[in-house]
Homo-oligomer: A and B are copies of this chain.
Amino acid sequence: MPKRSIEVCFSPELFRFYQNPNSHVVVVDILRATSAICAAFANGAKSVIPVSSLEEAKVLKDKGFMLAAERDGVTISFADFGNSPYNFTPERVNGKEVAYSTTNGTQAIAQASTGLSVIIGSFLNLSAVARWIIDQPTGNVLILCAGWKGRFCTEDSLCAGAIAEILLNNEQFETNCDSTRASIDLWNVAKHDVMSYLEKVAQRHRLKRLGLDDVLKYCFTPDSTQVIPFLKKGKLVVE
């Protein structure tokens, strides 16, 4: 039986150069979109509706949906709240459908929709994501890093490396992908003291300037939840 391959794509702008119709696509945008989505489901959200444009977001808000939306870290004026995972409290989201639009993450989710399946990954659900992939009978794996406005970002590659490392310890999987190997190496440089390593990361400083860096430790703490958000008919849901 041929092994299942693992790839990592460092930017949505490169997505077309990677396999995807035969791959389960894991979208990671850990500071902060995919961490926030995991938090929303951990706190009981019924669904999260990713919307790329603020125009669409406004339409859903006007229809009565709760709206979480930001650009460059700043909450959009007509949104109910921004994209700190701390915003998605049980009081706000339990049983609710939440429309969601962010700088990078929601566009990456939209692009990923050509995959065999699309799931949301972060450190919050790290082991659950790896377990879900391992448990699928077939399908390659493509970890799509949302990056920052088209560019590579370190924090997403660290999460990609952490996921890929777990998978490669399972004999079903192999990789011949340089960005996968590089992600694992970067994760191994960082993992012994992630908080110190983040001092080198641009997004850490962007969030600090905006007073939004209270989430770092939360976003890098593995396995606080077992949720696996899936994209199904344009909505993220859990089974």
Contact = CB atoms under 8 A, between A and B. Distances in A.
Interface string A136-180: 000000000000111111100100000000000000000011110
A205 B176 contact: yes
Q: Interface residues of A toward B: which range? A: 20 to 34
Contacts of A189: 185, 188-189
A13 B13 contact: yes
Copies in the complex: 2
A21 to B, nearest CB: 17
Interface in A179-196: 179, 181-182, 185-186, 188-189
Nearest to A201: B178
Nearest to A197: B185
B205 A181 contact: no
Contacts of A14: 11, 13-14, 150-152
A230 interface: no
Q: Dominant SS at the A interface?
A: helix
A236 to B, nearest CB: 27
B186 A150 contact: no
B17 A151 contact: yes
A102 to B, nearest CB: 18
Contact of A152 (B176, B178, B188, B203): B178
A59 interface: no
Contacts of A86: none
A182 B152 contact: yes
A202 B150 CA distance: 24
A80 to B, nearest CB: 31
A18 interface: yes
20 contacts: A10-B10, A10-B152, A13-B14, A13-B17, A14-B151, A16-B150, A17-B149, A17-B151, A18-B151, A151-B178, A151-B179, A152-B152, A152-B179, A154-B178, A177-B202, A178-B201, A178-B203, A181-B200, A182-B186, A185-B185
